[in-house]
Amino acid sequence: MQSTTIKKESKIASKSMLFYCREGYEADLAAELEQLSAKQQIYGYSQFVPNSAIVHYHFYQELSTQQQYVSFPLSDCIFARQRLCSIGKVELTDANDRITSIIEYLKDNTELSDSCLGDIYVEHADNEKGKEVAKFCKKFTVPLRQALRREGWLSKKAHSGLPYIHLVFSDSTECTLAFSYPKNRHSQPLGITRLKFPAEAPSRSTLKLEEAIQLFMSPAQQALCLQKGMTAVDLGACPGGWTYQLVTRGIHVEAVDNGAMAESLMATGLVSYQAADGFKYQPIDGHVDWLVCDMIEKPERVSELMTQWLCNRKTTSTIFNLKLPMKQRFQIVSTLLAKMSTSLNERQIEHRISAKHLYHDRDEITVLVLTGAHLI
């Protein structure tokens, strides 16, 4: 991850990080954080409650301000939705004046400079318990924002180039105070990419591909890599949720499946339907710009197939889903992705692999592999 220039210097001591994930995937995220910690030689330990949708990582030494900005890149975390630097918990015993307790805690535990904060998020875990305090969090945001502005800490308008302050409520009597930093955070509350389901799309799976495109590629990369007139193969296409995303961008798609495609997609003139086995299919002209795949198959088979297409130059880039096993999910997917990278390196194919357990995924992760002209 590139180094971030700190424009507004504030002293914020942190010895732990707080990560959001999908409920039930805490152990997978914890295993991933342990590996990242060893890789960066910033040591500590993970702590979580099963099904809490939150994992804490406690460091043995206090992180410097620069380490808080750049360590544990969110883009490197498959199972993390959001990455926050935690400074501690605040007990809110006075239900009539919670704000004073929060302001006093910030004064005692930080040295915030003028207009050093770009926004405020009052949040909760994305699970059933968290939903119980969701309404409270929504109501509490406005008065707390006003209080932070009175203290001079919060910019007049939201500023994405500054740290954000997050208050993570377990209930209305206790919250964790934390900060997120530019270029190393998800830009939306709870680390969730909110998307509207297109009425014309034939299935909700379309949201997986849309989220992947938005998360993995900048607007400039999307303009370069998803141009009108490009070609693609969609393995396991029917009824056409992923094909829809490609067609709306003017991309010609070879839709491969034994099921039926949505008639609305066939009517665009951009889709050719191929009733074939996705593991044996060959692109009509020998090469396409994109291979996308959301087949319900063992992750080993899918990763091997994607690797073959890339190594044999049948596609420039690919987006695909890997269905997750019941146990050792992080260990298995990280091994498969490392094997894919090794194979590409052996063929001297420059590449970039991104992987994420998306909000619209369930028991799968979505992977992007860019190569060749798609790399910028």
Q: Phi, psi at residue 178, to the nearest 5°?
A: -150, 165
Q: Rounded CA gap, 235 and 150, in Å?
A: 56
Residues 92/174, Cβ–Cβ less than 8 Å: yes
Q: Rounded CA gap, 244 and 223, in Å?
A: 17
Q: Rounded CA gap, 113 and 252, in Å?
A: 53
Q: Which two tokens stand for residue 348?
A: 């001297």
Query: 274: helix, coil or strand?
Result: strand
Q: Phi, psi at residue 62, to the nearest 5°?
A: -65, 135
Q: Which two tokens stand for residue 3?
A: 């180094």
Other CB atoms within 10 Å distance of the CB of residue 267:
9
- Residue 115 C-beta-side C-alpha neighbours within 13 Å: 8
Residue carrying structure tokens 């590629």: 217
Question: Is 129 designated active site?
Answer: no
Q: Which of 156, 323, 327, 339 is catalytic?
A: 323
Q: Rounded CA gap, 341 and 315, in Å?
A: 16
- The C-alpha torsion from 313 through 317 and 320 to 325, rounded to 10°, is 70
| DSSP secondary structure, 116-136, as one string | -B-EEEEEE-SSHHHHTTHHH
Q: Rounded CA gap, 169 and 373, in Å?
A: 45
Residues with catalytic roles: 323
